[in-house]
Amino acid sequence: MRPHFCSVDLDQPEVKLSPLPSFLRQKSLTAKDVDNWAEAAKDAFCKLLAQYSAFECDANTEAWKAAEKEVLSVVKEDALVEFDPSRQVVTVAGRADDIKKIRAPVENILLKLMILVSVSRADICSFKVDAVVNAANEDLQHIGGLALALLKAAGPNLQKISNDLVAKDGKLRPGDAVVTDGCSLPCRYVVHAVGPRYSDSDKKTSVFRLKCAVRESLSQAERASCSTVAMPAISSGVFGFPVELCTETIARAVREYCDDPSGPGSLTEVHLVDNNDATVRMMAAAVSREFSDLEPIMTVPQPAAGKHKGAAG
């Protein structure tokens, strides 16, 4: 019997090997010939596929638009690249030897365009980012907690700017956020976010408004063309939001913002910052749970030496 190639339909959910018609038309074809062909075809197909591999990278639509040209310039003719917007994933497939060479460069290109979420124990007043989020009240009167600490670091002009803004546009509501100049702070902008006053009797509304405050803060930073932003545990101070629930809500809101199909825009880094050890640990745990599918790298902060009281959100 003469050898005959087979055709394979890879577009179907199941790969089906089928002999060419010329094989079946051969004279003196026996059942043994067909069995031998089937075994040979499977072996050949497995050996062929073993020469190929693929990998996937997470990428939202905006990141892929920005990275596509650079990725294709690295891949060239060595592999096929496909972006699936419904899954927010880029798939690269080709010969295994070629994939080994191009995987790291492609992953690095996409990684630098994705948003970094970190948890830090630090003084947000001196944190070096484009914008810091202030846990503000509806009147933007920076008279206590983190708001007062930021005012002292920024200088009195921050209160004047805030007063002018409220006089012009009126009071803010829980869930709102606005941007002002950073004045003497190391950041360019301050995003004033009004978190909710926690209510045991209406927990659902409190959580909803806190999520709104987080999302609006990130949106305001993005509209100001910021790349990096630092956010405290909003409402966890005088507004009485239970710290564990607060950190869980903030982590979930940040994840939802990152996963939004419209993408994080200009933002590349979101730093969740507090100078209280317990709050930082709870925030780190919440972020670890919320981003568990991405296998986050966690470093547990060590307790600060001595007692240090800091402003809470």
Same topology, domains 52-111 and 116-294? Answer is no
Q: Check: pTM over 0.75? Answer yes or no.
A: no
Give pLDDT, residue 310. 37
Give pLDDT, residue 37. 84
Per-residue pLDDT of the chain (313 residues; tens, 9 = 90+): 455 556 666 666 566 777 888 888 888 888 898 888 888 888 888 888 889 999 999 887 777 888 899 999 999 999 999 999 888 899 999 999 999 999 999 988 887 667 889 999 999 999 999 999 999 999 999 999 999 999 999 999 999 999 999 999 999 999 999 999 999 999 999 999 999 999 999 999 999 999 999 999 999 999 999 999 999 999 999 999 999 999 999 999 999 998 876 666 788 899 999 999 999 999 999 999 998 876 666 554 444 443 333 344 5
Sheet holding 79-84, edge to edge: 52-58, 89-95, 79-84
Quick one: how far is CA 55 from the chain centroid?
19
Task: Supply 273's token pair.
Answer: 């910052």
Q: Give the domain ranges of the chain.
A: 6-49, 52-111, 116-294
Single out the residue of 197, 270, 259, 269 nearest to residue 231, CA to CA.
Answer: 270
Residues 309, 255, 86, CA angle at the centre, nearest 5°? 170
CATH architecture of 116-294: 3-Layer(aba) Sandwich (3.40)
Q: Could you tell me the maximum CA-CA distance found in the chain, to the nearest angstrom? A: 99
Give pLDDT, residue 304. 44
Give pLDDT, residue 307. 34
CATH architecture of 52-111: 2-Layer Sandwich (3.30)
Sheet holding 269-274, edge to edge: 116-121, 269-274, 228-231, 131-136, 189-194, 177-181
